[in-house]
Every structure is written in structure tokens, then in C-alpha cells.
Structure 1
């Protein structure tokens, strides 16, 4: 009865825990971590895009850099094209203004020419088309001519035909020779100044020119006049 007494151990939770078993809270924590990792893996495998390897990531980066460089190049090209378009628009506006000014000057010159033609002496021969004036010179073996034509009763419908020049002169073979030059097409309403040059035979010396206005080559005469070659 009076032997050695044993120490009494008090349990704070009211029961004894088996030795070697982990705490319940640690088990729950580890279980939650495992479930979370498994969920992440399942989501990645089923719903997210597949993960790229190192080589695939490198290729993707290279493709991105190439695309970005091309985008910048195209952006610069677009800016250059916009600048050129602005410059072209400005130039076109200047050309349009210049064209409008040229048309205005041409209209004024036509009016001045019509006034000058009206002031010229009438064709003594008359005719449907009057040969009001003409200038003929020989230069470099060619006959250079300026002929002023006018219609007596000008209408809206233009007169069409040809201008036929016959040059009288002398050559080494004959002291009196006539050369018919190539017909010149005509189409005018009220007046027309026909200018040009045509070659003469070699050694031909022109003295006078007969101006004929025909409705067609070798056709009906609409007007005629003989003038000196100076």
C-alpha cells in the first residue's frame, strides 16, 4: 500500500492521441493543396491551350518579331504614300488652275484672231470660203505657208475639206513649171489659220502659189486665190 507512487499525466483535450499519427489540420491542409494542384492540371489539360515547348516558344517569338517589323514597315509606307498623295493633290490643283488659265487665254486669243480676220480685206474672188490673207516663203528647199481662211456665212456646222496649194515657178528642166503639193485637211467654223511647210522639188524656184479650198481632194472649189511667193 505504501509503495512508490506513479506520476499522474493530465490530458489537455480529455483523451490520449495515438503516437505517430499526423494532426488532423495538417491532413486537411495537404488534402486541399493536392486537390488544388489536381484542379489546375485538369483545367490546363482540358480547357486551356496546350503549353508550348522551348523551341515552339522561340519560333513564336521570332514570328512575332517578324510580324511587328513588317507592321512598322507598312506603317511607314502608308505614311509615305499619304505624303505623296498630299503632294500630288497640291500639284493637280496647280495644274488645274494653270489649265483653266490657259483655256481663258486661248479664248481671248481666238476672239482677238476673229477680230483681226474680220479687219482683213475681203477676198476679191469671194466664194463660200474666203482666202483673206497668206504668206509664202521658201526656206531650206520647202515652201513655208500661213493662210488665213474665213467663212462668209459662218454657222454652227463646221466646214470640212482640203487646202490645195499649187506652186508656179521654174526648174532646171523648164522655165515654167507647176508643182501640186499634198492636200491639207481642213475643218473649221468661222475662221482658220493654216500654217505649215511642204518640200519642193530640188532646184525648183517658186514665184507664186495658187490657194484652193476644195470640199474634198480634186472636188468642188469653195474658194481660191493666187499669191506671190517671197
Structure 2
């Protein structure tokens, strides 16, 4: 009862832990890590898309780069096309304005021509179509002509027919020769200036030109006048 007392050892966890055994919290932590890793592997294998290999990743990257380059090329092509369209639109607008200006000038010239034709002396022979004026010259073996035709009683329906020129002159074989040129088709409403040139026979020198307006080749005469060839 009064012998030596032994020291009392207090164990905080109620009992002494066996040596060599890891603590419980460490075991739980490692188990959780293992379970989590296993879960990640299961999810990747079953639910996520399959992972790409290094070669497949390189192919995918190359395909992406190629697609991106093509997109940039198409974008640049679209920008160039839009620029060309804008330029074409501006050019079209300029042409429209130029056409409108040319049309106005043509209308003014037509009015001036009508005034000039009205001021010319009338055809002394009269007729349905009057030969108001004419100019005939010989150049390089051809007859160059300008003939002014007019209708005093012009309607809405144009007059159609042919302009027939008969030349009176001389040649090496005959002092008096008549040459008929090819008929020229005509169609006009109030007035018309017929211009052109036709070849002459070799050695033929015309003095006068008989201008005939016919309703058709070798048809009825609508007007006629004789003029000098200069």
C-alpha cells in the first residue's frame, strides 16, 4: 500500500496505436485519391470523346490551319469583289450620265438639222419626197455623196424606199455615158441626210447626178432632182 508508485501514461486517443500501421486519415485520403482517379478514367472512357493521339492531333491542327487560311483567302476575295462592284457601279453611273449628255446633244443636233433643212430652198420638182440639197465629188475612183431629203407632209409613219443615183458623164469609149449606181435603202420620217460612196467604172468622169427616190428598186418615183458633180 505504501510501496513506490508507477508513472501514469495518458493516451489521447484512448488506446495506444500499434507501431507500423498508417493513420486512418491517411488511408482515407489515399483511398479517395484512388477512387477519384478511377472515376476520371471511367468517365473519359465511357462518356467523353476518345482522346487523340499525337499524330491525330497534328492532323487536326493542320486541318485547322488550312481552314483558317482558306477563310482568310475567301474573306480577301470578298473584299476585292466588293471593291470591284463599287468601282463598276461608279463607272456605270458615269456612263449613264455620259449617255444622258450625249442623248441631249444628239437631240439638239437633230433640232439644228431640222432647222437647217427647213431653211434650204425647196425642191423645184416637188414630189412626196423632196431632194433639198446634194453634194457630189469624185475621190480615188469613187463617188462621194451627201443628199438631203425631206417630207413636207410628214406623218408618224416613216417613208421607206431606196435612193437611186444615175450618173451622166463621159468615158474613153463614149462621150456620153450613163452609169446607174447601187440603190441605197432609206427610211425616215421628216428629213434625212444620206451619206456614202460608191466605186466608179475605170475611166468614167461624171458631170451630173440624177437623184431619184423610189418606193422600191425599179419602183414608183417619190422624188427626183438633177445636180452637178464637182
Report if TM-score (shorter chain) is over 0.5.
Answer: yes
Instruction: Compute the displacement of 1:5 (Å).
Output: 8.4
How far apart are residue 7 of structure 1 and its match?
Answer: 6.4
Q: Which runs of 5+ in 1 are unaligned?
A: none
Aligned to 2:66: 66
Alignment of 1:148-167 (within 5 A): 148-167=148-167
Q: Match of 1:132?
A: 132
Question: In structure 2, how many angstroms separate the alpha carbons of the residues matched to 1:37 and 1:204?
Answer: 117
Give the equivalent residue in structure 1 for 2:223: 223
Distance 2:48 2:201 in 1: 97
CA distance in 1, matches of 2:40, 2:25: 23
State TM-score, norm by structure 2: 0.92
Query: How far apart are residue 213 of structure 1 and its match?
Result: 0.9
User: What SS does the aligned partner of 1:156 have?
Assistant: coil
Hey, what's the Cα distance between the residues in 1 that align with 2:212 and 2:35?
114
Whole-angstrom distance in 1 between the partners of 2:215 and 2:42: 100
Per-residue deviation, 1:224? 0.9
Who is 1:171 aligned against?
Answer: 171
Q: Secondary structure at the match of 2:209?
A: strand
1:105 counterpart residue number: 105
**SS at 1:193's partner residue?**
strand
Question: In the alignment, which residue of structure 1 is the partner of 2:50?
Answer: 50
TM-superposition CA deviations, 1:112-147 (whole Å, max 9, x none)? 100111111111111111110000000000000000
Q: Find the residue that maps to 1:147 and give its secondary structure.
A: strand
**Which residue in the other structure is 1:189 paired with?**
189
Q: Which moved more, 1:109-118 or 1:60-69?
A: 60-69
Q: Shift of residue 72 of structure 1?
A: 1.9
SS in 2 for 1:172: coil
Corresponding residue for residue 114 of structure 1: 114
Please show how residues 15-34 of structure 1 align to structure 2 within 5 Å: 15-34=15-34
| Unmatched runs of 5 consecutive residues or more in structure 2 | none
- Displacement of 1:8 in angstroms is 5.4
Write the distance in 1 (CA, Å) between the matches of 2:11 and 2:206.
151
DSSP 3-state at the match of 2:148? strand
1:91 corresponds to which residue?
A: 91
2:51 alignment partner, SS class = coil
